[in-house]
């Protein structure tokens, strides 16, 4: 699918959170294309703290299933790919490369609370960009929490400064497994003009 022909319906109003998937693989090239799109989404000081594990193999899926809460296991079992969106708690070490026009690394060095809030905020943004990029490329998504974070970190990020933020299934959704669309808040319920 050509991302230049994407509509707001494809990204938002017609897109649905998936609960099951058809048995259609997602090629490696599509995952690379997905990353090449999402990486351009803005983050503060171009910090780009998100790290991604695209879980596809039987061995990796078994490790992932062991970390997921029972209500999410079948979704992960059916999805051709589940992405673990992590946050690099040493993201600031990349800032000389990613934000070279000033010493942005010094803004974070030795400040674990600032690192943690910046990593969470910006990796969440990047996870959102992943969902939009996937939808733009014709993939369906199922973002979720509902996992044991300590087990997930040990299973997929051991020996690194990366910690799990959330997971997202990817593939071709099974329309028979969609729940009725849930309501959303109105503008007046969620917004204020100041």
Per the domain annotation, does 132 fall within a domain?
yes
| CA 136/CA 14 separation, integer angstroms | 12
User: Is the separation of the CB atoms in 152 and 67 below 8 Å?
Assistant: yes
Asked whether residue 139 is assigned to any structural domain, the reply reads yes
- Full-model pTM: 0.94
> Sorting pLDDT into bands at 50, 70 and 90, what band is 3?
low
114 belongs to a structural domain: yes
Position 9 in a domain = no
Residues 6+ apart with CB under 8 A from 135: 6, 10, 11, 15, 141
DSSP state for residue 10 in the 8-state scheme: I
User: Encoding tokens for residue 162?
Assistant: 């990366």
Residue 47 lies in a domain: yes
**pLDDT of 2 higher than 60:** no
CATH number, position 58: 3.40.109.10
Predicted local confidence at residue 184, as pLDDT: 96
- Residue 123 burial (10 A CB sphere; 0-12, 13-18, 19+): buried
User: Does some domain include residue 119?
Assistant: yes
Whether 181 maps to a domain, the answer reads no
Range of the domain at 170: 18-176
Q: Inform me whether the pLDDT recorded for 14 exceeds 70.
A: yes
- Percentage of the residues of the chain whose pLDDT score is greater than 70: 98
Domain count, the chain: 1
Segment 139-161, tens digit of pLDDT: 999 999 999 999 999 999 999 99
Helix (H) or strand (E) holding 12: none
Token digits of residue 169: 């299934």
> 103 pLDDT exceeds 70?
yes
Q: Distance (Å, rounded) from C-alpha 169 to C-alpha 24?
A: 13
In a domain, 5, yes or no: no
């Amino acid at each position: 699918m050509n991302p230049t022909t994407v509509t707001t319906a494809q990204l938002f109003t017609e897109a649905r959170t998936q609960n099951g998937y058809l048995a259609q693989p997602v090629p490696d090239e599509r995952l690379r294309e997905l990353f090449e799109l999402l990486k351009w989404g803005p983050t503060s000081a171009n910090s780009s703290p998100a790290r991604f594990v695209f879980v596809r193999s039987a061995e990796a899926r078994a490790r992932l299933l062991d970390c997921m809460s029972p209500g999410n296991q079948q979704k992960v079992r059916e999805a051709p790919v589940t992405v673990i969106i992590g946050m690099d708690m040493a993201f600031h070490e990349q800032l000389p490369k990613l934000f070279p026009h000033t010493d942005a690394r010094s803004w974070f060095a030795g400040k674990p609370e600032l690192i943690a809030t910046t990593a969470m905020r910006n990796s969440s943004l990047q996870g959102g960009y992943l969902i939009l990029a996937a939808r733009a490329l014709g993939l369906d998504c199922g973002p979720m929490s509902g996992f044991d974070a300590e087990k997930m970190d040990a299973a997929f990020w051991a020996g690194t400064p990366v910690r799990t933020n959330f997971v997202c299934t990817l593939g071709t959704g099974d329309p028979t497994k969609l729940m009725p669309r849930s309501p959303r808040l109105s503008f007046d319920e969620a917004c204020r003009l100041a």
